[in-house]
């Protein structure tokens, strides 16, 4: 019985030694493979020198955009623009901005001092990876990081100056993060059209619209903290060197 146990122990020891040798060999092969890969294939980055002259390819564009969104759960218009530098046709870095207003519903009672609208804008840094940029139809992933401002005011404020004492506007500043996806169409070498969507995410707003009602009593409406968070649909016209 003792001899059998010793035999089993010796067999397990030999198997363990073999497994360690195999594992060590595999590790050595992996390390050698990685070293060879680094020697033979240089890692490619967004700013690698890939053109024929051995230099980074530079480009740039300016764009005008219009879009639809919802502000405070009401239909709103977006108008904006952006300017960006393009590296190696595949990554854009620049600035972008948008203005918005939701004073679109003409069925509101504009004589009601409690009828308000929101208007404002935001802008900041634009980061935009571009996938297969030389294809006639391709996609990009624009991301905007920035800051903005918004104001709550009476819907008829700009046309009705006689009742300005019945209400006042409130405003606030917010941070914004807006990732998106665009489908781009290469129309000609210097012109692209982009259709896309994005989601505007803010850190929240603190707005209180105060007004004097028909009984000469001050009232206020507290606007939702996430009133600016919403999906956007955009159409952009881009002109430049792509």
* DSSP one-letter code for 26: H
Dump pLDDT digits (tens) for 118-128: 999 999 999 99
In contact, 85 and 61? CB cutoff 8 Å = no
- Per-residue model confidence (pLDDT) at position 168: 67
Whether residue 79 is found in the same domain as residue 168: yes
Whether residue 90 is found in the same domain as residue 209: yes
- Residues above pLDDT 70, as percent of the chain: 68
Whether residue 100 is found in the same domain as residue 218: yes
Question: How many structural domains compose the chain?
Answer: 2
- 51 belongs to a structural domain: no
- 236 belongs to a structural domain: yes
Structure tokens at 36: 């060879």
User: Cβ–Cβ contacts within 10 Å for residue 51, how many?
Assistant: 12
- 129 belongs to a structural domain: yes
Specify the CATH number for the domain of residue 119.
Answer: 2.40.160.20
- Per-residue model confidence (pLDDT) at position 190: 94
Report the range of poorest mean pLDDT among 82-91, 155-164, 211-220: 155-164
In three-state secondary structure terms, 186 is strand
Q: What is the 3-state secondary structure (H, E, C) of 200-229?
A: EEECCCCCEEEEECCCCCEEEEECCCCCCC
Distance, in Å, from the CA atom of 221 to the CA atom of 108, rounded to the nearest integer, reads: 16
- 213 belongs to a structural domain: yes
- Residues above pLDDT 90, as percent of the chain: 55
Whether residue 37 is found in the same domain as residue 62: no
Nearest Cα residue to 200 out of 87, 120, 85, 122: 122
Distance, in Å, from the CA atom of 39 to the CA atom of 181, rounded to the nearest integer, reads: 36
Domain carrying residue 20: 1-42
Structure tokens at 62: 């300016």
């Amino acid at each position: 019985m003792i001899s059998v146990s010793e035999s089993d122990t010796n067999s397990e020891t030999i198997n363990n030694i073999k497994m360690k040798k195999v594992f060590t060999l595999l590790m050595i092969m992996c390390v050698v493979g990685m070293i060879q890969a680094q020697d033979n294939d240089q890692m490619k980055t967004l700013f690698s020198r890939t053109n024929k002259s051995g230099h980074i390819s530079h480009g740039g564009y300016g764009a005008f955009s219009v879009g639809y969104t919802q502000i405070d759960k009401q239909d709103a218009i977006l108008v904006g623009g952006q300017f960006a530098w393009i590296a190696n046709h595949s990554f854009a870095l620049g600035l972008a901005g948008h203005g918005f207003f939701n004073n679109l519903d003409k069925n509101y009672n504009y004589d009601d001092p409690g009828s308000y609208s929101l208007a404002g804008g935001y802008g900041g840094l634009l980061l935009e990876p571009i996938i297969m940029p030389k294809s006639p139809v391709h996609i990009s992933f624009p991301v905007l990081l920035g800051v903005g401002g918004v104001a709550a005011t009476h819907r008829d404020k700009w046309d009705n100056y006689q009742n300005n004492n019945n209400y006042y506007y409130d405003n606030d500043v917010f941070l914004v993060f807006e990732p998106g996806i665009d489908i781009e169409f290469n129309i000609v070498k210097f012109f692209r059209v982009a259709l896309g969507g994005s989601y505007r995410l803010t850190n929240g707003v603190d707005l209180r619209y105060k007004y004097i009602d028909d009984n000469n009593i001050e009232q206020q409406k507290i606007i939702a903290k996430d009133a600016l968070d919403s999906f956007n649909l955009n159409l952009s016209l881009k002109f430049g060197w792509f």
